[in-house]
Each structure stands twice: as C-alpha cells, then as structure tokens.
C-alpha cells in the first residue's frame, strides 16, 4: 500500500473541503504538508469487471508526481498532463481541472514558482522548499512513479485489455484531438467518420458481449 500523505488532519482540515473549486489558503513562512488532491483521479482503463473505477492516486500523490516531474524539467500544465499520460501508457490522463488547481496550490505553498517560457506560456520550476519537500518524500515518490509506470503491465497480467489496445487508444485520441475542430470537412465526410466510429463501437461491444448503449438501442 502507498503512504497516505494526508497530514491535513493535523491541521483540523477536512480532506474534502473545497474539493474541486481550486480555492486554497495561502500559508507562507511555515511547513506545508500534502493533503487531498482536487477532483477525481482515476485510471482511464481502471474498470475491473463490473466493479467501479480504481483510484489512480491516493490523497497527496498527484502533488508529489507533479513536483517530481517539474524537478526534472520546468513544465507547463499541458506538458505535465502529457507526461503522466505517457508514463501510464495512456491509462490515466489527468484533466486540466485536476492539474491546474494542484499547480496553483503548489505555487501557494512555495513548492513551485511560475516562469514564462519562450512561447509565452506560464510554466513552473521547483523551488528550494519544493526540493526539500520532494527529498523528504522520495521513497513515496519512487513507489508512486513505479506504480504509474507499471499500471499497464499490471492490468495486462490480470486479464485487462488496456495494454493490448493502448496504441490504438493513443492513435485515436491523438487523431481526434488534432482534428476535432476542423471546419473544412464536408457534411458527407463528417457523416462517414461518425458512421465509422459507431461501427467500431458496435463491433467492440459485440466482441466483448456488451449490450448496446442506450442511444443505440432506442
């Protein structure tokens, strides 16, 4: 099991307080500890059988991951999202609604500081206090990163198809992300693409013995 860095309890804070709103209390000049992360952090391929989604990170883990990634190279939010996506073989892609509030909190805790990159984007670099915090939790960081890197292999060994289709998932996501806003396609082309996607969904549902979705069955 992973080290639960929920030291917020020592400060009398509820772990779910202000969750998802991105509002944080600024505490300068003292020690800062990791509490709960904002938003839900579940694996994209984390459905096991008929059960619910598996939590990818415990409370505080995402903040440590972000600190570790920024310590390697100053980065902006999208670069960090992409780094976690690649580290998990596409099984977990954190949303901007999770990443940016966490980066803001790390900045408020003086663990990260903003810099302006050459392309004008707001990037972050780790501070001395952040380096110290990272060193204090290095063992936990190593475990979290190892879990993230091995999540695809773990699912594969337990019969999950995530690793086997990761390349297809990544190609489809990249294709749609890069072209979804295109306005130069004809109505017929859009209809053909939509039909191709629906055909693929139906074929996958049939292969997996899954009943058609509600929209298809109506």
- What are the pLDDT digits (tens) for 111-137? 999 998 777 789 999 999 999 999 999
Residue 5 · residue 61 · CB < 8 Å: yes
Average pLDDT, stretch 7-28?
38
| Measured CA distances, 155 to 53, 111, 210 (Å) | 13, 33, 20
Q: What is the DSSP letter of 37?
A: P
**Residue 68 binned pLDDT confidence (cut-offs 50, 70, 90):** very high
pLDDT higher than 70, residue 104 = yes
> Tens digit of pLDDT for each residue in 148-188?
877 655 554 444 566 667 778 878 888 888 888 888 989 99
Q: Where are the alpha helices (DSSP H) in 36-137?
A: 61-72, 77-87, 96-108, 128-136
More confident residue, 122 or 2: 122
**Residue 87 binned pLDDT confidence (cut-offs 50, 70, 90):** confident
More confident residue, 98 or 211: 98
The number of C-alpha atoms within 13 Å of 138 and in the hemisphere containing its C-beta is 5
């Amino acid at each position: 099991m992973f080290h639960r860095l929920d030291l917020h309890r020592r400060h009398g804070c509820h772990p779910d307080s202000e969750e998802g709103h991105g509002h944080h209390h600024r505490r300068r000049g003292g020690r800062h500890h990791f509490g709960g992360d904002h938003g839900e952090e579940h694996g994209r391929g984390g459905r096991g059988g008929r059960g619910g989604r598996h939590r990818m990170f415990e409370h505080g883990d995402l903040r440590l991951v972000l600190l570790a990634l920024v310590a390697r190279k100053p980065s902006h939010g999208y670069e960090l999202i992409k780094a976690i996506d690649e580290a998990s073989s596409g099984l977990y892609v954190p949303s901007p609604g999770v990443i940016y509030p966490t980066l803001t909190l790390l900045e408020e805790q003086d663990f990260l500081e903003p810099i302006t990159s050459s392309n004008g984007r707001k990037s972050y670099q780790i501070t001395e206090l952040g380096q110290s915090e990272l060193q204090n939790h290095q063992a936990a960081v190593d475990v979290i990163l190892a879990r993230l890197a091995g999540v695809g292999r773990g699912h594969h060994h337990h019969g999950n198809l995530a690793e086997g289709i990761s390349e297809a998932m990544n190609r489809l996501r990249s294709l749609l992300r890069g072209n979804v806003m295109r306005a130069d396609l004809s109505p017929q082309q859009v209809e053909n693409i939509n039909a191709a996607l629906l055909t693929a969904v139906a074929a996958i549902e049939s292969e997996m013995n899954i009943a058609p979705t509600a929209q298809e069955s109506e």
